[in-house]
Chain A
Amino acid sequence: MSFLTRYRWWIVTAAFFVAFTLFTAEFQQAQTTAVLAATLRQSTPLVLGALCGIMCERSGVINIGIEGQMLMSAFAGFIVASSTGDLLYGVAAGIACGMIMGAFLAFLSVTLQGDQIIAGTVLNIAAIGLTSFFFQQGRSLPTGKTSVMRFGALSDLPIVGRVFFTNRPLTYLTLLLVPVIWYALFRTTWGLRTRAVGEHPSAAETVGVSVVRIRYLNLILGGGLAGLGGAYLSLEAVGSFERLMTNGKGFVALAVMIFGRWNPVGAWGAALLFGYANAVQTQFQFRGWLADDPQFIGMMPFIVTIVVVAGFVGRARPPAAIGQPYSRE
């Protein structure tokens, strides 16, 4: 019952979207299905970025380098996949690249106790520089991008089948990761320790939890999630690498994380909202609405982010120890 009162606005919003969707589906099933499927696709990198942010921030470390982690991983994944001809290696390279950058962020902000925002900015700028310098035009994926996985009869269901059961592998994986990380964060020892370290590191240290080890672990694992998001962009969404292809998604993921109140399930809901805004934007373009002024459609997701961060979230409370380097003294 407390769940219902606590999340009443979420439930109302979700119910509204479902009702609206069913209503429009009566008339234009194809378009509705397309919008919903695009919503899920567009939300995937945001969910992964936000999960990375949650893992880092819940342990008390700000990560504004998600954008850079995703960009670099998209690049690494693409290069490895195009030279080995195996997408699996590409995805693994993307994850590994994100983890290395996460470890580097941990080194700067945990071991050296430097400023976390600046450390993240270094990741972002380094990623732009490195990917631009080493990128060569004309490379491609010999296998093409990841292929659609179908689930027999489930995939043939109207709307639901097309939206949920005709996706590509990384999208399924992301849907799986949301409850897994929620469970890990709120129902396991690791999760309890993470949250303790993020709220009150010296208290956690007093009862024998190593703040340094937890922060390293979370930043590296979180980096892997951002890396998966990057691999999704180059290997599943687009099928090639483009300069600056993350295009602000790492930052939108931060907004998604805050909107979801540092909760994996909340962040998933928030990412769906942003995905929906993007999907509707694509529909607008497809139908030629506002075709003369595409700029107004282009800025829509960003305005939604601002409105959401300013209006709905207001003063959402981040983990208490966030942004402060920890030293044992």
Chain B
Amino acid sequence: MNLLRSALVPLLAVVLAIATGAIIIELSGLNALEAYKALYDGALADRKGIGRTLEKATPLVMGGLAVAFAFKAGLFNIGGQGQLVIGALFAGAVGYGVTGLPWIIHMPLALLVGAIGGALWGMIAGALKATRGAHEVITTIMLNFVALNITDWLTSKVWREPGIIVRTPAIEPSAEIPRWSELPTGFALSVAAAFACWYLLERTTFGFEIRSVGLNPEAARYAGISVSRIVILTMGISGMLAALGGAIETQGVVGRYEPGFNAGLGFNGITIALLGRTHPLGVIPAALLIGAMEAGGSMMQFKADVDPEITEIIEALMLLFVATPILVRWVLRRRDASEISVGAHWGDA
């Protein structure tokens, strides 16, 4: 019953967003039904489509987890994009640069190096907040731009494949995350990460400390919790999650690092985290939904001539309905105790 109630708002939000999207498509003179049919065909109709959906959903689960995890400590990590490219590039570098290792060591090693890179990158924002009081919304966004420049430089100057195209060489087969008959196994990794996050937050002392800091930093400090330590570690874990998404993309889908891949994931992570009610497990269905829309986008353009950018509008609408009180207050006529709040921490040092 409880589960049903907490799923009601997101479900209603999705339906409303899709309906509004249909109106926009019709208003621009195209056929909405045809468009959504093509979207479905591209994303879910056959094994190939489902594989594509899972592929797209994997970094989205990780990006959503990164945002949701930081939320628990009252932190707003908009740096998913930067952390992701760092993870993707480092995993790619280890994937091609280290040779002669068996799969059982090489594949996890590349993931690990990507994860550590992202964790350190995330910690920069955490440390700046803990020691200097610099707000993480600003620093993570700025670090996104810095990360894009750094990875561009590393790709074009240090780890570049000889040739015209700016990209790293293909990774060794021993670093690849395999497919299981069209289905990417990387998705299973992201689901495992979601469960690990849930366990860490809900069943361990460390998770309790994180949630305490998120609920009331002053009270947490009074209870003897080092708020600085929690802020730095939480941003580190958050960065690591986003980076793992990038590493899985490199090792499981692309097979190398190419600049400019997966742009906009930082914002997608926010949408997905909020759509999943910032619950680590709620992130999974949210990511599958957005992943399906991305997977079917090109089919929609091909068959119904609708720009795939319509999915971005639908995402914004979902966020509007699910994360703001519009739906809860106006449609359901009640106050929702689980409303999400991050703004109250804006001025905290």
Contacts and interface: CB of A to CB of B under 8 A. Distances in A.
B323 interface: yes
Contact of A299 (B139, B146, B309, B319): B146
Contacts, number: 158
Contacts of B326: 108, 112, 114
Interface in A108-164: 108, 112-119, 121-122, 124-126, 128-130, 132-134
A310 interface: yes
30 contacts: A62-B343, A112-B325, A112-B326, A114-B326, A114-B339, A117-B342, A118-B342, A118-B343, A121-B267, A122-B320, A125-B270, A128-B316, A132-B309, A133-B312, A248-B141, A251-B141, A258-B135, A295-B156, A299-B150, A303-B146, A305-B142, A306-B142, A309-B135, A309-B139, A309-B142, A311-B132, A319-B347, A323-B344, A323-B347, A324-B344
Interface string B311-344: 0111111011001111001000000000111111
A130 B346 CA distance: 28
B214 to A, nearest CB: 13
A54 B270 CA distance: 25
Contacts of A122: 316, 319-320, 323-324
A254 B315 CA distance: 25
Contact of A118 (B128, B141, B329, B340): B340
Interface residues of A, number: 50
Interface of A: 62, 64, 108, 112-119, 121-122, 124-126, 128-130, 132-134, 248, 251-252, 254-255, 258, 293, 295-296, 298-299, 302-303, 305-306, 309-311, 313-315, 317-320, 322-324
Given A112-B324, A303-B146, A306-B134, A318 B347 contact: yes
A299 B324 contact: no
Interface of B: 24, 28, 76, 128, 132-135, 137-139, 141-143, 145-146, 149-150, 152-153, 156-157, 264, 267, 270-271, 274, 307, 309-310, 312-317, 319-320, 323-326, 329, 339-347, 349
Chain A binding surface, main DSSP class: helix
A310 B339 contact: no
A115 B329 CA distance: 13
B147 to A, nearest CB: 9
Contacts of A134: 28
A306 B341 CA distance: 25
A230 B219 CA distance: 42
Given A108-B325, A251-B137, 17 more contacts: A108-B326, A112-B325, A112-B329, A115-B343, A117-B342, A126-B316, A128-B264, A132-B312, A251-B141, A252-B142, A295-B149, A314-B133, A315-B349, A317-B347, A323-B344, A323-B345, A324-B344
A323 B346 contact: yes
B128 A129 contact: no
Contacts of A118: 274, 319, 323-324, 340, 342-343
A310 B134 CA distance: 5
Contacts of B137: 64, 117, 251, 254
Contact of A115 (B24, B139, B149, B340): B340
A302 B150 CA distance: 12
Contacts of B341: 115
Given A126-B316, A128-B267, A132-B312, A254 B138 contact: yes
The 3 closest A-B pairs by CB, nearest first: A129-B312, A129-B313, A295-B153
A115 B132 contact: no
A114 B324 contact: yes
Contacts of A306: 128, 134, 138-139, 142-143, 146
A321 to B, nearest CB: 9
Given A125-B267, A318-B347, A323-B346, A115 B309 contact: no
B347 A322 contact: yes
B316 A115 contact: no
Nearest to A319: B347
A18 to B, nearest CB: 28
Contact of B312 (A125, A313, A317): A125
B87 to A, nearest CB: 19
B324 A251 contact: no
B324 A309 contact: no
B128 A115 contact: no
A318 B348 CA distance: 9
A64 B313 CA distance: 19
Contacts of B343: 62, 115-118, 323-324
A296 to B, nearest CB: 7
Contacts of B314: 129
A84 B315 CA distance: 32
B231 to A, nearest CB: 14
A116 B346 CA distance: 10
A41 B167 CA distance: 35
Most buried by A among B142, B270, B310, B314: B142
Given A112-B325, A118-B324, A251 B138 contact: yes
B309 A309 contact: no
Given A117-B342, A295-B153, A309-B138, A125 B309 contact: no
B132 A293 contact: no
B142 A302 contact: yes
Nearest to A132: B309
A318 B143 CA distance: 23
